[in-house]
Amino acid sequence: MTSRIAKRPTTLADGRELIYFDDADTTLGEERSVDSRVLDPRPATATMRQDILTGEWVSVAAARQNRVFLPPADQDPLAPQTPQNPSEVPALYDVAVFENRSPSFGPALAGSDNSPTGLDDLADLGLGRIRSSIGRCEVVCFSPDHEGSFGTQTPSRARTVIEAWADRTEALSALDGVQQVFPFENRGEAIGVTLLHPHGQIYSYPYITPKTQRTLDAIDRTSPDMFQRILDFERAGDRVVLSGEHWTAFVPFAARWPIEVHMLPHRQIPDFAATSDDERDELATMYLKLLRGIDAIYDSPTPYIAAWHQAPVNTARDTFRLHLQLTSPRRAADKLKYLAGSESAMGAWIADVTPEAAAENIRKATERA
């Protein structure tokens, strides 16, 4: 933890962990209000069911059906608590991270007696296989404001969020049974967002995700330096959107979505915990510039998923590189790309825009922003 950004851990009324991260230029004091709510015990940890056709695991988290849907500002569950709003965060904050109240992956509570015993156990294939969804899901509040996104934050606040990502990646990677840690931001109702509050999430999985497994297979089939080769290939082409001393953002050669940008660090880094202060400092400003450019493409904010892919906790640390994959289904000012028959049923994508044209469009928008 850099000395400029303070970390203040505490707990919520039901025992869930809450951590405040104070900006380097914070105006807040050290004291925080105590969560005095009377809360029900945590719901039972979800269960996973294996799809024998693919070997993939599906977490069935029925408690998520009860989550809040687009509440008014005075009932925002991520805003600081008031007498009228018994929210999840007791005090005013800069950045706050807490365990999700209804997680897709949760702790081994009493009764969670069917935990995975390791990757070999999960790799076995059979009908009717069930395991507890052991892991952790955290909410990362970027701001106490009711509306916004990562891209609407100040550079100082963006730097605090990146510090929180690094801190939580290290902590969550150390939890028993966690195999992969995934920070991400869903932005916009078109993506399915149920809260307008500027926030992201961090999922900690008990398995290596299918997308990452396919990437690991590609590394095995090509070369250990595959990510460096991708970076060199893209930097030599005409799809680069932004480039700095430590990071480069580009539209990938085989982009699937109408808006798709990847960002790679210039050296082999497995996850946020391994980034340097200089890399985090540059990322804070470059990432804001990218997101504001994405928003400037049209006259209204762009829905997107910002997915930060990190290396598995226990393998491929020297070959899988931390990277951003930002995607949006927006193919025109008033049109979305829907994943219909070919994409949804067969996983066979048809792109509507050439990656080179998309890169040029994003570059111009970034300059305007």
Considering the domain architecture, whether residues 145 and 236 belong to the same structural domain is answered as no
Q: Are residues 121 and 142 part of one domain? A: yes
Between CA 119 and CA 115 the distance in angstroms is 12
Separation CA 6–CA 27 (nearest Å) = 12
Does position 308 have pLDDT exceeding 80, yes or no? yes
Quote the pLDDT of residue 64: 74
Q: State which of 177, 207, 237 marks the end of a domain.
A: 207
- State residue 1's pLDDT score: 61
**Mean pLDDT across the chain:** 95
Lowest mean pLDDT among 78-82, 112-116, 139-143, 202-206: 112-116
Same domain, 162 and 78: yes
The yes-or-no verdict on residue 68 having pLDDT over 90 is no
Residue 255 CB-half CA count within 13 A: 26
Which structure tokens are listed for 320?
A: 């899988």
Residue 84 domain-assigned (yes or no) = yes
Q: Are 191 and 218 within one domain?
A: no
Residue 238 domain-assigned (yes or no): yes
Task: Look at residues 207, 226, 260 and tell me which one is the last residue of a structural domain.
Answer: 207
Q: Tell me, what's the pLDDT at 111?
A: 61
| pLDDT score recorded for residue 69 | 85
Structural domain boundaries enclosing 266? 212-368
* Phi then psi dihedrals of residue 331, to 5 deg: -105, -5
- The pLDDT score that the predictor gives to residue 2 is 60
Do the beta carbons of residue 359 and residue 250 sit within 8 Å? Answer: yes
Statement to judge: residues 172 and 252 lie in one domain: no
Verify that 259 and 112 share a domain, yes or no.
Answer: no
366 has pLDDT over 90: yes
pLDDT band at 110 (very low <50, low <70, confident <90, very high): low
Is 199 one of the annotated active-site residues of the chain?
yes
The domain boundary, picked from 207, 239, 268, lies at 207
- Inside any domain, residue 165: yes
User: Tell me, what DSSP letter sits at residue 63?
Assistant: G
Rounded distance, CA 230 to CA 218, Å? 12
Per-residue pLDDT tens for 77-104? 999 999 999 999 999 999 999 999 989 9
pLDDT, tens digit, for every residue of 156-175?
Answer: 999 999 999 999 999 999 99
Residues 218, 258: one domain? Answer: yes
Confidence of residue 112 (pLDDT cuts 50, 70, 90): low
Q: Rounded to 10 degrees, what is the CA torsion of 313, 315, 317, 320? A: -100
Q: How far apart are CA 98 and CA 367, in angstroms?
A: 36
Neighbours of 56 (CB within 10 A): 15
Which residue among the candidates 197, 199, 246, 262 is catalytic per the annotation?
Answer: 199
Residues 231 and 201 in one domain: no
Report helix, strand and coil shares of the chain as percent, to nearest 5.
30, 25, 50
pTM of the model: 0.96
CATH number of the domain enclosing 128: 3.30.428.10
Question: Is 216 found in the same domain as 203?
Answer: no
Both 28 and 162 in one domain: the answer is yes
pLDDT tens readout for residues 202-224 = 999 999 999 999 999 999 999 99
Residues 308 and 159 in one domain: no
Q: Which residue reads 């930002």 in tokens?
A: 326
The answer as to whether 1 is a domain residue is: no
pLDDT of residue 67: 74
145 vs 153: CA distance, rounded Å:
10
For residues 257 and 350, give the distance between their C-alpha atoms in angstroms, rounded to a whole number.
9
Residue 128 tokens read as 């009717």
CB 275 within 8 A of CB 263: no
Q: What pLDDT was estimated at residue 3?
A: 62
Please check the confidence at residue 71 and state whether its pLDDT lies above 90: yes
CA distance 355 to 275: 29
Given phi > 0 = left and psi -120 to 50 = alpha, else beta, which region is 246?
alpha
Residue-wise pLDDT for 3-61, tens only, equals 699 999 999 999 999 999 999 999 999 999 999 999 998 888 999 999 999 999 999 98
pLDDT at 113 over 80: no
Count of domains observed in the chain: 2
Between 183 and 61, residue with greater pLDDT = 183
Predicted local distance difference test score (pLDDT) of residue 241: 98
At 250 the pLDDT is 98
For residues 2 and 294, which has the higher predicted lDDT (pLDDT)? Answer: 294
Verify that 157 and 263 share a domain, yes or no.
Answer: no
Contacts 24+ apart (CB under 8 A), 219-225: 219/316, 219/319, 219/320, 224/318, 224/319, 225/319
Q: What's 100's DSSP letter?
A: -
User: 57 is written with which tokens?
Assistant: 């695991």
Q: Which residues contact residue 63 at a Cβ distance below 8 angstroms, ignoring those fewer than 6 apart?
A: 43, 44, 46, 102
